Amino acid sequence: MTVLLAVALTGLPAPSATIPHAPEPLAAALVRTERLLDEAIDRWDHSRTTPRAVTLLALYEQRILRMLGTSSSLARAVVRLDPDARDDVAARADLSRLAASSPPLGASPRVAAAPAAERLLAWYREAQVRFHVRWQLLAAVNFVESAFGKVRNVSTAGAQGPMQFEPATWRAYGLGGDVHDPHDAIFGAANYLAANGARTDERAALFHYNHSALYVDAVAHYAHRIASERHAFLRYYSWQVFVRTPTGYRRVTGPR
């Protein structure tokens, strides 16, 4: 049974639903999934936990985009058919290349629930008012660094917390807060980005945050998507955590 037929019959794709591999059906599956996901998000009370419909549709969208991040020719073909996917596909390709140049996670993954979406949005906007750094940029950094705080591991470089600060940088820009507290971490990140010119040159500020052009490009794509598409933040918030291990990627959160 194809995923589109499964969705038509049950309303939701299974966690391991088959993903098409040809450009036309793949683009059609992505467009349909995102439309259904948008409708499910509109029905969601964002102060509550993520509904099952959002979780399953977001996972299927995420799995499609992760696959596209590993095949440049297929990605180009899908983006030609679905130009709205450009930012997501480009960001996923950037992060795939960045991960390939880094060692896999050595320790067992430590994951937990993210703060409620409404609370995160309030903190991003509060930090934007204080430091004049766009809330969408802060959300994109939080997303790339720790999946909005779902990933609790210390990085291979020693970075910690939901915004992944190294100890010396946190001492300089953390405003005396707790690096593991999401509110404090968001404010520390806004402070650090503002100090490095994010008000006038976001890409340069992001390069200070992480000295990788791939990282800068990925965060910029996600920030643009969040700013231009009203459901994007909640889509990303609903995605699951995949970790890179010596034997490949493994999903460590979400439905089975």
> Which amino acid makes up residue 139?
A
Backbone φ, ψ for residue 135 (5° rounding): -65, -30
Give 117-169 pLDDT, tens digit per residue.
Answer: 999 999 999 999 999 999 999 999 999 999 999 999 888 778 999 999 999 99
- How many CA atoms, within 13 angstroms, populate the side-chain half-sphere of residue 72? 4
180, 215, 227 from 139: Cα distances, Å: 16, 14, 10
pTM for the model = 0.93
pLDDT, tens digit, 9 for 90 and up, residues 34-90: 999 999 999 998 778 899 999 999 999 999 999 999 999 999 999 999 999 999 999
List Cα–Cα distances, 117 to 142, 165, 187, 211, in angstroms: 12, 22, 17, 29
d(CA 171, CA 241) in angstroms, rounded, equals 28
